[in-house]
Amino acid sequence: MNQKTLIIVFAVLFLCCCLLVVGGGVTFYLLGNSSSNESKLVPLMLNPEDLPDGWESAKYMYTIPYREGTLETRSSVFDYYYPGDISASIALSHLIYLYPSEETGAAGYQKLHDEWINGILEEVDINFTFAPRNPADKFDIYCTETNAVGTYSCDFVQQHGSYVILLRSWYDDKALTASQVDDILRQLDAKLP
């Protein structure tokens, strides 16, 4: 490449990086934070106190996936580090999307459902007992076994009126059991208005 081409390539890369930093920061602020201190979603979020011992808030930044048409979005991510091996961990993430209406919430639920409950990998039947307290809520669970034998990845999607919830859980009966996941789902459902 000649010098002029290199300068253009570096200028384009620099501009892209600037847009990611500025645009990403604005996006994170708009999607991850309410401009008001009276967020409707904060009281509905999963907290470390809702989890079994050993779980803690994630130490890394989490990008909140944008969903068109949402009024507000919140997320929380938690990690469990195995005792004696801080390099090994499993995670749990919780996202809530607030839509303007139940109808737009239904469309948002369907999109999220199609993305996460997609049947691409072989489904593993886990005997969860959770069901939403409101029988009108849409709800689905999809679990697969991960590469680590005995470790499962489960995605839970629920629509409660204009609220759409995604819980992504990894568990292995050491850090988190299926029964504990059931308990977490009940806690989250009980927080819904």
Q: How far apart (Å, rounded) are the C-alpha atoms in residues 8 and 12?
A: 6
- Tally the domains of the chain: 2
Q: How far is CA 159 from CA 2, 63, 69, 122, 128, in A?
A: 56, 22, 15, 24, 18
Q: Are residues 106 and 81 in the same domain?
A: yes
Residues 66 and 123 in one domain: yes
Do residues 142 and 88 touch, judged by C-beta distance below 8 A?
A: no
Whether residues 103 and 23 share a domain: the answer is no
Q: Are 154 and 187 within one domain?
A: yes
Please report where in the chains the tokens 């996936």 appear, as a residue: 65
Q: pTM of the full predicted structure?
A: 0.75
**Which residues face 142 on adjacent strands?**
155
- Are residues 115 and 82 part of one domain? yes
Q: Which domain holds residue 90?
A: 40-191
Above 50 in pLDDT, residue 14? no
Q: Which residue has the higher pLDDT, 186 or 80?
A: 186
pLDDT exceeds cutoff 80 at 8: no
Q: What is the pLDDT of residues 106-143, one digit of tens each?
A: 999 999 999 888 777 777 888 889 999 999 999 999 98
**DSSP string covering 98-143:** E-SSHHHHHHHHHHHHHHHS---SPP---------SSTTSEEEEEE
Instruction: Report the pLDDT value the prediction gives residue 86, as an integer from 0 to 100.
Output: 67
Whether 23 and 68 share a structural domain: no
Claim to verify: residue 44 and residue 28 sit in the same structural domain = no
Higher pLDDT, residue 149 or 51: 51
Considering 1-15, 47-61, 178-192, the range whose residues carry the highest mean pLDDT is: 178-192
Phi, psi of 128 (to 5 degrees): -75, 145
pLDDT digits (tens, 9 = 90+) for 41-100: 999 999 889 998 888 888 776 667 678 899 999 999 998 887 777 666 788 999 999 999
Confidence of residue 10 (pLDDT cuts 50, 70, 90): very low
Query: Residues 26, 47: one domain?
Result: no
